[in-house]
Amino acid sequence: MNRTAEAVFPRTISQSACDCADPATHGPMTGIGRYTGLAAAAALAVTAAPALAQPLPWEIGLQPAATPVMANIHAFHDAMLVLMALISGFVLLLLIYVVVRFNANANAVPTRTTHNTLVEVVWTVVPVLILIAIAIPSFRLLYFQRDIPKADMTLKITGNQWNWTYDYPDNGAINLTAFVKQRADLKEGEPYLLTADTAAVVPLNKTVRIIVTASDVIHSWAMPAFGVKIDAIPGRLNEDWFKAEKPGTYYGQCSELCGKDHAFMPIMVQVVPEADFTAWAAKAKTAGVEEAQKLLAARLAASKIVAAGD
């Protein structure tokens, strides 16, 4: 099954999904003189969260898809919505017909019919056929989600009360712990209770295998834009995968009641081009995650300035 294209329905990640992350491309830096105000831009590069990569007030739909899995979840959801609307409309028409055709005024003497073989066969067989039609794409999508492809990197995620620890075993044993960012420390555009003080960083267009566990109680690592929700259970390793196809910052939350500060366990993932990720990982190994985050912010800010200049 082609994991870079459609797995269940012929649908690609829509343009709305493009809006859920930063559209800037990342080119080489060409001269310090061009980057007046780079320090200020760098401070905002990581924190300027794309609006559609997080919950919005009064929204009724799913978050825009950032991965092939979520794109197919969107397609399956939309197809089922159409099917349910057709069934509901058909049932409504039947009810209206019954009310009009068989009310007391139209039928002073009601019929005493108790059985109709044709009708009973139809109302048994048709729902079965509908369920089979739903089951086929449903199981295909489930298989697509759970059949983990060959990964480009592994990210181990550990849920703790009340923070997340991320380990990068393929990148020199990088380790970082993400706590909720306090309201007083939030910058403009950062959503409260969704912003972490340190973001997990992953490369763009790379298959990331995640191994999820917990150190104390059951947690759940959920990232709506990726189509991922997987329990973190003490003493057990669960695994999943994603392939982010749009750069930007994405938000999620712990989705399993885990104690008094359950609401303060945000998930924040930053998807960056491979070159930026490689630079971030190299800096994290030698100088620590804090310095790596500063380097990444500067690179992203410089790339935005280059893109704006072009």
The pLDDT profile of the chain, 310 residues, written as one tens digit per residue, is 445 444 444 444 443 344 444 433 333 333 333 333 433 344 444 443 344 478 888 888 888 999 999 999 999 999 999 999 999 999 999 999 989 888 888 777 877 878 889 989 999 999 999 999 999 999 999 999 999 999 999 999 999 999 999 999 998 889 999 999 999 999 888 899 999 999 999 999 999 999 999 999 999 999 999 999 999 999 999 999 999 999 999 999 999 999 999 999 999 999 999 999 999 999 999 999 999 999 999 998 888 765 555 5
Q: Give, for 139, the enclosing helix (H) or strand (E).
A: helix 117-146
Q: 173 and 115: one domain?
A: no
pTM as predicted: 0.77
Q: Residue 145 to residues 1, 64, 73, 165, 283: CA-CA distances in angstroms?
A: 11, 17, 10, 24, 33
3-state DSSP assignment of residue 246: coil
Domain with 179, as residue range(s), is: 153-309
Which CATH number is 116's domain given? 1.10.287.90
In a domain, 33, yes or no: no
Of 146, 181, 202, the domain-final residue: 146
In a domain, 22, yes or no: no
Of 101, 124, 146, the domain-final residue: 146
pLDDT at 306: 55
Q: 122 and 167: one domain?
A: no
Would the CA dihedral through 150, 152, 154, 155 be positive or negative?
A: negative
Q: How far is CA 26 from the centre of its chain?
A: 23
Would the CA dihedral through 64, 68, 72, 75 be positive or negative?
A: positive
Q: Residue 268 to residues 54, 89, 218, 296, 305: CA-CA distances in angstroms?
A: 10, 41, 19, 15, 24
Cα angle value 54/23/35 (rounded, 5°): 115
Instruction: Order across the sheet with 228-232: list the strands.
Output: 200-203, 266-272, 248-254, 219-223, 228-232
Q: Give, for 242, the enclosing helix (H) or strand (E).
A: strand 238-242
Q: Residue 52 to residues 19, 42, 80, 150: CA-CA distances in angstroms?
A: 7, 21, 23, 29
C-alpha closest to that of 78 among 93, 96, 65, 92: 65
Tokens of 180: 């909720």
Q: 305 and 158: one domain?
A: yes
Of 146, 161, 178, the domain-final residue: 146
d(CA 237, CA 299): 35
pLDDT at 16: 39
Tokens of 93: 């028409």
Q: 161 and 305: one domain?
A: yes
3-state DSSP assignment of residue 118: helix
Q: 184 and 294: one domain?
A: yes
The number of distinct structural domains making up the chain is 2
pLDDT at 3: 53
In a domain, 53, yes or no: no
In a domain, 201, yes or no: yes
